[in-house]
Amino acid sequence: MSSKVSQVKFTGVNPRYSSWSCRGWFALKLLGVDFEEDTLNLIDPDFSSKAEKISPSKLFPCVTLTTTDESGKDTGKSHNIWDSFAIAEWAYEYATETGNTAAKNALYPSDWECRALARSAIAEMHSGFPAIRTHCSSNFVTKRPFTPEKWWDNTNVEKELTRIISLWKSCREKYVERKSDSSDAASEDQGFLFGTFGLVDAFFVPVVYRIKHYSLPVKDEFALEYMNKVMNHKYVLEWQDKANKDTIILPHYEYI
Ligand SMILES: N[C@@H](CCC(=O)N[C@@H](CS)C(=O)NCC(=O)O)C(=O)O
């Protein structure tokens, strides 16, 4: 018997800090479904017991789906999708299965060559860049001056930053090439990596914040322009608002 998604619930953690939560949340925004939202607090003494009831890995974001059967009756079952990349892939599959072409094209580029590169860029972001993650922990609110003596001079942060900018450029080059080669690839060009703000841009939002909020030295014109576009996108501004309203301070992400 086939089941149908009747309700989508998003659970994230501390929006002031959680880079992974925002990526999963952007995927649902791009999918364009109505969803309920809940936020857990990493320093709540009951975090672990609350987390294990929702996410099998006890890591967030996690999306919980409620389903109905063919007659529209609640199946009484819920399905959890944890990990930002899994949520992104589920969103694309759901848009595809429900024939929602607008959402499908909002999530990933319609051209397969662009889509393959977008997925590779997301995967590289999802599993890579350990130096930036370690030394510039995610914080959507607090801005710091550039302090090279702290970690810039003796870590791989600069190398990773160079790679990130080169990855952004290769996405953009592929998009421009495919746009002129194939009418299928020609989404409206708003200057994002593949035209409009999609999953690939969403996965780089926390990196853009790290660059801006740790005042990392970026001189590349394209990168500067791209980062400004990202920070002014409506979903990013919405997340920024959530982060600004989050008053729970996690000292180990704040006073570094
Ligand atoms: N690879 C995972 C990482 C998820 C992750 O590490 N989430 C952090 C918050 S940003 C978390 O839930 N931490 C819980 C804990 O530290 O107990 C993803 O992409 O979703």
For the chain, the structural domain boundaries read 1-107, 109-240
Q: Are 157 and 136 in contact (CB under 8 A)?
A: yes
Who wins on pLDDT, 242 or 1?
Answer: 242
Ligand 1, atom 10: closest residue by C-alpha: 18
The sign of the dihedral angle between the CA atoms of 227, 233, 237, 239 is: negative
Kindly give the distance from the C-alpha atom of residue 18 to the centroid of ligand 1, in angstroms, as a whole number.
8
Mean pLDDT of 202-209: 98
Nearest CA to ligand 1 atom 18: 83
In the reported structure, the alpha carbon of residue 3 is separated from the centroid of ligand 1 by a whole-number distance in angstroms of 29
**Residue 256 pLDDT grade (very low, low, confident, very high; cuts 50, 70, 90):** confident
Q: What is the CATH number of domain 1-107?
A: 3.40.30.10
Distance, CA of 101 to CA of 219 (rounded, Å): 37
pLDDT of 26 > 80? The answer is yes
What distance in angstroms lies between residue 12's CA and the mean position of ligand 1's atoms? 9
From the alpha carbon of 21, which atom of ligand 1 is closest?
10
Rounded to the nearest angstrom, the distance between the alpha carbon of 1 and the centre of ligand 1 is 34
Q: How far is CA 179 from CA 66, 108, 163, 174, 176, in A?
A: 39, 14, 24, 8, 5
CA of 21 to the centre of ligand 1 (A): 8
The 3-state DSSP class for residue 28 equals helix
**Long-range contacts (CB closer than 8 Å, 24 or more residues apart) made by 88-91:** 88/23, 88/24, 88/27, 88/122, 88/199, 88/202, 88/203, 90/63, 91/27, 91/28, 91/30, 91/31, 91/199
Mutational pocket test of ligand 1: of 19, 59, 129, 248, the residue with most ligand atoms within 8 Å of the beta carbon: 59
Q: How confident is the model at residue 180 (pLDDT cuts 50, 70, 90)?
A: confident
Is residue 158 over pLDDT 90? yes
Segments of 199-245 assigned E as strands: none
8 Å CB contact between 121 and 167: yes
Residues in the ligand 1 pocket, defined by CB under 6 Å: 13, 18-21, 42, 58-61, 83-85, 126
Q: Whose CA is nearest to atom 20 of ligand 1?
A: 83
For residue 255, pLDDT over 80 is answered with no
CATH topology of domain 109-240: Glutathione S-transferase Yfyf (Class Pi); Chain A, domain 2 (1.20.1050)
Cα-to-chain-centroid distance, residue 216: 21
pLDDT value of residue 169: 98
